[in-house]
Amino acid sequence: MAKEHIVIVEDEEDILELLRYHLTREGYSVTTVTNGEQALKTISQQMPALVLMDLMLPGLNGLELCRILKKDPQTTTIPIIMVTAKNEESDVVIGLELGADDYIMKPFSMKVLVARVHAVLRRRKQSVAATDEVIRIHDLVVNPGRHEVLIKGKPVEMTFSELRILHFLARRPGWVMTREQIVNAVRGEDYAVTDRAVDVQIVGLRKKLGARAEYIETVRGVGYRFKE
């Protein structure tokens, strides 16, 4: 069986080597780069199963790299784990809004980081298998298999997380989903995230839906539901 390929983007050589050593020992094929520009070139040549990136990079920083990868149809479904020394909630929220799948703060336990890598890759495989159903509601079409949302036949650009949230809610019209249920469905039960991060994703989703934003209702004190 082919090894899953991981690209590590980190400008601190000691951390880069430590990550490479432990992930290689876990059976992954690892490519290391030290800046965002190198990462784009490497990823375009060989699509990885996952990208592990520091946010504080020289030149093209981690958030910009994440934005570019998630806007490109060829790379939008690649899972991204952000590694950052920053502990401000706003940085985490921005990364999640751009479509990152997980984050871990420096300094971190290598066992914890490896476990998070395993979890993200496992969830991605499970979500692909479980969310292939195409949803059609009037002129709105959600096709997770093609990472495509159409309104009146025209594509609407969405991050991986936004599309998964929309699909999760639309599959159960009328059901009220808590923020915790949404996170569990989209990112897994072992994923820690604030309520505000979920709300930011919903705000972005509504903006992109335009007049169809009314499909997603806020149930105060509980969560969200897709209107029947």
Which residue blocks in 8-108 are alpha helix, DSSP H? 13-25, 36-45, 62-71, 89-98
CA-based end-to-end distance of the chain = 45
User: Residues 68-86: pLDDT tens digits?
Assistant: 998 887 788 889 999 887 6
What angle, rounded to 10 degrees, do the helices at 160-170 and 179-187 form? 120
pLDDT at 2 over 70: no
User: Residues 84-132: pLDDT tens digits?
Assistant: 876 666 777 788 878 888 888 888 899 999 999 998 888 776 655 455 6
User: Residues 137-161: pLDDT tens digits?
Assistant: 889 999 887 788 999 999 998 887 7
pTM for the model stands at: 0.62
Confidence of residue 209 (pLDDT cuts 50, 70, 90): very high
Domains of the chain from N-terminus onward = 5-129 (3.40.50.2300), 131-226 (1.10.10.10)
